[in-house]
Amino acid sequence: MKLWIQAMALALTVAWSAPSAAWWWDSTPSNYTDTRYPVVLVHGMFGFDSIAGVDYWYGVAEDLRKYGADVYTTQVPALDSTIARGEALLPQVQAIAAVHGKVNLIGHSHGGPTARYIARVRPDLVASVTSVGSPHKGSPVADLIYGSPAESLAASLGNALGGLIDLLSGGGYNQDLRSSLESLTTQGS
């Protein structure tokens, strides 16, 4: 009986104190990702914005928005040189910056050098550049394939896949794996 009373007292104490601790589990989103300027996401090689409901950024944009950021996903060629990708990105950045003043660029893989290109040619539009897994000093894989006997086969297969990605994502860009590889070699970077 004494054990039962102790158990009930403990249960009542926990139940009574739960509302006072509810703030700890508050599901109201904070604004920890809120930035002065919007975030612009730049995809990498073989990238896209969205295809048939599949998001290249796998929920990153939604999560950033949930916690306060103004986020834009962009579309550039899946395969092309850093300069060509940058030139495709530039009008999108200009349109966003026309409303907000500047942008925070986040580039993944080849999106990192693409974002850096924008920062170089239009620094007045860029508040910051962040890159994730980007080959800023070149890629050993690009060094291995570019100029090798396997390059033409890789280019044919890569351009076909890039074209399919472009078709499905509605990008409307030409694909050029050779230019991507050249931009991503240690010498081309």
**How far are the Cα atoms of 20, 28, 29, 65, 120 from residue 93, in angstroms, in the given order?**
47, 31, 28, 18, 13
Residue 5 placed within a domain: no
Split into its structural domains, the chain has a count of 1
Residue 26 placed within a domain: no
pTM: 0.83
Which helix or strand (DSSP H or E) is residue 90 part of?
Answer: helix 82-100
Torsion angles phi and psi, residue 161, rounded to 5: -65, -45
Residue 32 placed within a domain: no
- Which CATH number covers residue 71? 3.40.50.1820
Average pLDDT over residues 162-181: 94
pLDDT digits (tens, 9 = 90+) for 99-141: 999 999 999 999 999 999 999 999 999 999 999 999 999 999 9
How sure is the predictor about 13, in pLDDT bands with cuts at 50, 70 and 90? low
Residue 69 placed within a domain: yes
The residue behind tokens 């910056």 is 97
Residue 24 placed within a domain: no
Residue 25 placed within a domain: no
Structural domain boundaries enclosing 92: 39-184
Q: Are 163 and 175 spatial neighbours (Cβ–Cβ below 8 Å)?
A: yes
pLDDT digits (tens, 9 = 90+) for 40-95: 999 999 998 889 889 999 999 999 999 999 999 999 999 999 999 999 999 999 99
Residue 12 placed within a domain: no
